[in-house]
Amino acid sequence: MKTTKWICALMLLLGCRAAVAQDTKPSERRTVAQVLDHAVSGVESEFVSAADAMPEDKYSFAPTNGEFKGVRTFAEQVKHVAAVNYMVGADILDEKPPVDPGGENGPDTVKTKADIMKFLKDSFAYVHKATATINEGNLLNPIKSPFGSGMTTRLGMSTLIVGHCFDHYGQMVEYLRLNGIIPPASR
């Protein structure tokens, strides 16, 4: 009797597994633009939430203990990333940025936390627009680097965005923690 129950349970389990397997569609092939956009979305989520976590009165914070002489303030970190986002997005699109990025440090006119957050969010929207144009046909075509280092590719520039953002994200995490704030991604 016990054996019969186990056999029935096993048959039921195998039947359910077969039904689920038939109901599952094979995964759709994603485009290059979708893969790159997904990577940008991931870093955007963590970076924007970290930038927003710092109170406005701490946006001028820069560490001073240890070997931190001359480092960017928290606000300058955020503005720098946004400015580079605009520069790289424009490079991918082969156009001028829609706003003056103010060089690699961002425009001097962008000062308050609200203005910096808008500048940052708009820069990511522009990067999404740029990555949406990348496809298998133009992925590796040579394009001029916005940093005066010769030629690069759209793939190179789109992956640079992710690496660059996470580099500065790591620094911002330290700034947040030095101010007693747990980064949103670590909560």
Q: Could you report the per-residue pLDDT of 84-125, keeping only the tens digit for each?
A: 999 999 999 999 999 999 999 999 999 999 999 999 999 999
Q: Which residues make Cβ contacts (< 8 Å) with residue 15, sequence separation at least 6?
A: none
Residue 58 DSSP class: G
Where residue 149 falls among pLDDT bands split at 50, 70, 90?
confident
Distance CA 65, CA 12 (A): 65
CATH no. for 29-61+69-186: 1.20.120.450
- Is residue 48 scored above 70 in pLDDT? yes
For 63, the enclosing helix (H) or strand (E) is: none
Cα–Cα distances in Å, from 116 out to 82, 119, 170?
9, 5, 19
- In the structure encoding, which two tokens stand for residue 72, read together? 């960017």
Q: Which two tokens stand for residue 105?
A: 């440090």
Give CA–CA dist 69/157, Å, rounded.
30
* Average pLDDT of the residues of the chain: 88
How far is CA 119 from its chain centroid?
15
Closest-CA residue to 78 (of 37, 114, 129): 114
Residue boundaries of the structural domains of the chain: 29-61+69-186
SS3 state at 102: coil
What the block records as the tokens of 136 is: 């298998």
Rounded Cα–Cα distance for residues 13 and 6 (Å): 10
- Count helices and strands in the chain by DSSP H and E runs: 5, 2
Confidence of residue 153 (pLDDT cuts 50, 70, 90): very high
Count the Cβ atoms, other than its own, within 10 Å of residue 14: 10
Amino acid identity at 19 = A
pLDDT at 23 over 80: no
pTM: 0.84
pLDDT tens by residue, 61-71: 999 888 888 89
pLDDT confidence tier of residue 25, bands split at 50, 70 and 90: low
pLDDT of residue 182: 96
